[in-house]
């Protein structure tokens, strides 16, 4: 069995199988966790170890300050400017503050070690392990919780934060995290393990190329958001909302005839004066208004997925702040949840029906044509208002308040079809609609360009590790130029 012939034959038998042969004497110990489970020694992991061994590597802890957030508590203070960022804010390369609570200042003061700074990297270490993002000015001041690691690169002459976030998002970084997380009920990555993330020391000039590309990608996202804001401002100015101040009066007296007999509602929330003000604003719009049922086409028929067909599935978690869709689940029809019963088409607008997430509205782009979405969305389009304007309109302050007014229910508060169809919709001037559409199209195009650039940059780092930096540079030049 020790002859060269038998050894070759033995290796041939293993070819194509997920089987790795590792000598016990070569299993790394030292500071590393003791692992002898087969999962840890998958072929792809060993292949990646071999490729990384071609470069000088350092442990992350040698060049970075690493800590987690406060343990066991956080105190919300709506008047605070300090964002409390969690896993949901780190899904797309750059940290965002969507739906982030505001943290009490004293909590931040007591946890300055985890107070974020520009170009810190944040990494989720429990639950949704592996989400990572670069911190920019737009989310500061901010702090994190105990399930997030703050990584502050100290030696930026050796490791650029932009290079590290790209490496961490590459298959090498993500596979290392997947391989090294542990736990029985809930998987996690201990801080001491984060400090042992191996980083290949690629040439600093190569890292500067990555740095420049990542910063350019971020500038595209900023430009995208600015275009969206311009579109919002056109609509708000057109509707006269810029000078509008809703009533703050806590009391509104209604007769039985003008309340329950007219609406069937007895809850005080429904009759707040601010809601009446928003409805009056729309009904006084200079170009008129009509009820939702006359302006919009509602696509509310259930669709039965083909069990053997693959579908893109959009849910609330996929909806971005500016009406875009940040990814989706791709599954066979038989594996989709029972709520995946609405089919969408390009230029439809999906509107959340659930109170608490009413601003989760999105425009369906070509990429998601014929995708499915949750029954928690209303799927609409219009022959009188273009889709881009419809998106901005339903995310606007007046419409969000009117949608909230119309919600009902006990366990799950939502707006039903009957209430939705009665909502007044302003017939926005056609010229303004065109301006809004152009800005939203530009906004979406810029965001898509940024996303493609990030994917390209990730692949560039992988090519550098697998082949060499020269080929990686040629690749990025061919894609960017």
Q: Are residues 176 and 198 in contact, defined by beta-carbon separation less than 8 angstroms? A: yes
Q: Which of 317-326, 410-419, 438-447 has the highest mean pLDDT?
A: 438-447
User: Given a cut of 50, is residue 226 above it in pLDDT?
Assistant: yes
pLDDT reported for residue 240: 86
Over residues 67-114, the pLDDT tens digits come to: 999 887 778 888 899 999 999 899 889 999 888 899 999 998 989 999
Per-residue pLDDT, averaged over 303-323, amounts to: 91
Same fold, 57-215+456-480 and 228-435: yes
Q: What is the pLDDT of residue 428?
A: 96
Q: What separation in angstroms does the CA of 475 have from each of 172, 202, 205?
A: 19, 16, 16
Give, in order, the Cα–Cα distances in Å from 295 to each of 290, 321, 376, 386, 430. Answer: 6, 25, 21, 11, 14
Provide CB contacts within 8 A for 256, sequence distance 6+: none
Higher pLDDT pick, 273 / 28? 273
Instruction: Give the bridge partners for 122, in sequence order.
Output: 133, 150
Each domain of the chain, given as residue ranges in start order, spans 4-52, 57-215+456-480, 228-435
Alpha helices in 284-408 (DSSP H): 292-295, 387-395, 397-406
Lowest mean pLDDT among 2-6, 12-16, 281-285: 2-6
Question: Does 271 have pLDDT greater than 90?
Answer: no
Tell me the torsion sign for CA atoms 373, 376, 381, 385.
negative
Tokens representing 239?
Answer: 């509707």
423 has a pLDDT exceeding 50 = yes
All residues at 6 or more sequence positions from 405 whose CB lies less than 8 Å from its CB, including other chains: 269, 270, 272, 275
Max distance between CA atoms of the chain, in angstroms, equals 99
SS3 242: coil
Alpha carbon distance 466, 284 (integer Å): 64
Has residue 4 got a pLDDT over 50?
A: no
Is residue 349 within 8 A of residue 390, CB to CB? The reply is yes
Helix (H) or strand (E) holding 460: helix 430-466
Look at the domain 228-435 and name its fold: Adenine-n6-DNA-methyltransferase TaqI; Chain A, domain 2 (3.90.220)
CA gap 442, 224 in Å, rounded: 7
- CB 179, CB 40: distance < 8 Å: yes
How does DSSP classify residue 187?
-
Give CA separation, 377 vs 24, 331, 353, 373, in Å. Answer: 55, 19, 6, 7
| % of the chain exceeding 90 in pLDDT | 65
**pLDDT reported for residue 10:** 56
- CATH number of the structural domain 57-215+456-480: 3.90.220.20
Instruction: Please give the backbone phi and psi of residue 81, each rounded to the nearest 5 degrees, phi first.
Output: -95, 0
> 476 burial class (0-12, 13-18, 19+ CB within 10 angstroms)?
buried
Between 29-38, 193-202, 271-280, the lowest mean confidence (pLDDT) is in: 29-38
Counting DSSP H helices and E strands in the chain, the numbers are 16, 20
How far apart CA 317 and CA 195 sit, in angstroms, is 30
Residue 51, helix vs strand vs coil: helix
101-102 and 83-85 strand pairing: antiparallel
**The pLDDT value given to residue 3:** 44
Q: Determine the 3-state secondary structure of 84 from DSSP.
A: strand
Return the number of other C-beta atoms located less than 10 Å from residue 200's C-beta. 18
Q: What is the pLDDT of residues 340-375, one digit of tens each?
A: 999 999 999 999 999 889 999 999 999 999 999 999
What confidence score (pLDDT) does residue 238 get? 93
């Amino acid at each position: 069995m020790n002859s060269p012939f038998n050894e070759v034959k033995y290796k041939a038998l293993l070819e194509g199988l997920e089987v790795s042969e590792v000598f016990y004497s070569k299993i790394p110990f030292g500071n590393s966790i003791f692992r002898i489970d087969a999962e840890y020694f998958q072929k792809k992991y060993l292949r990646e170890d071999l490729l990384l061994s071609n470069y000088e590597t350092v442990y992350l802890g040698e060049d970075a300050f690493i800590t987690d957030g406060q343990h066991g508590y956080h105190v919300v203070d709506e008047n605070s400017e300090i964002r409390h960022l969690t896993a949901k804010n780190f899904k797309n390369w750059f940290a965002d503050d969507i739906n982030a609570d505001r943290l009490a200042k004293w909590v931040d003061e007591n946890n300055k070690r985890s107070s974020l700074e520009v170009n810190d990297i944040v990494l989720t270490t429990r639950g949704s392990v592996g989400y990572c993002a670069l911190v920019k000015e737009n989310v500061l001041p901010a702090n994190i919780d105990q399930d997030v690691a703050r990584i502050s690169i100290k030696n930026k002459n050796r490791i650029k934060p932009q290079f590290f976030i790209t490496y961490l998002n590459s298959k090498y970084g993500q596979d290392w995290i997947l391989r090294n997380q542990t736990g029985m009920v809930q998987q996690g990555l201990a801080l001491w393990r984060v400090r042992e993330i191996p980083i290949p020391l690629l040439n600093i000039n190569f890292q500067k190329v990555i740095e420049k590309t990542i910063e350019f990608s971020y500038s595209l996202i900023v430009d995208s958001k600015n275009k969206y804001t311009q579109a919002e401002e056109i609509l708000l100015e057109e509707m006269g909302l810029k000078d509008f101040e809703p009533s703050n009066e806590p009391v509104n007296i209604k007769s039985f005839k003008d309340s329950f007999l007219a609406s069937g509602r007895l809850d005080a929330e429904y009759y707040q004066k601010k809601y009446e003000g928003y409805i009056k604003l729309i009904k006084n719009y200079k170009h008129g208004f009509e009820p939702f049922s006359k302006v919009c086409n509602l696509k509310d028929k259930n669709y039965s997925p083909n069990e053997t067909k693959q579908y893109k599935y959009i849910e609330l978690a996929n909806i971005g702040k500016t009406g875009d869709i940040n990814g989706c689940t791709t599954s066979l029809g038989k594996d989709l949840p029972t709520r995946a019963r609405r089919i969408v088409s390009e230029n439809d607008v999906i509107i959340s029906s659930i109170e608490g997430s009413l601003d989760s509205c999105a425009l369906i782009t070509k990429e998601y044509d014929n995708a499915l979405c949750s029954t928690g969305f209303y799927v609409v389009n219009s022959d009188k208002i273009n889709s881009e304007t419809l998106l901005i309109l339903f995310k606007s302050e007046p419409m969000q308040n009117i949608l909230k007014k119309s919600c009902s229910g006990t366990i799950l508060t939502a707006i039903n079809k009957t209430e939705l169809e009665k909502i007044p919709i302003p017939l926005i001037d056609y010229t303004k609609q065109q301006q809004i559409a152009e800005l939203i199209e530009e906004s979406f195009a810029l965001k898509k360009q940024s996303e493609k650039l990030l994917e390209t940059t990730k692949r560039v780092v992988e090519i550098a590790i697998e082949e060499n930096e020269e080929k990686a540079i040629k690749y990025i030049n061919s894609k960017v130029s």
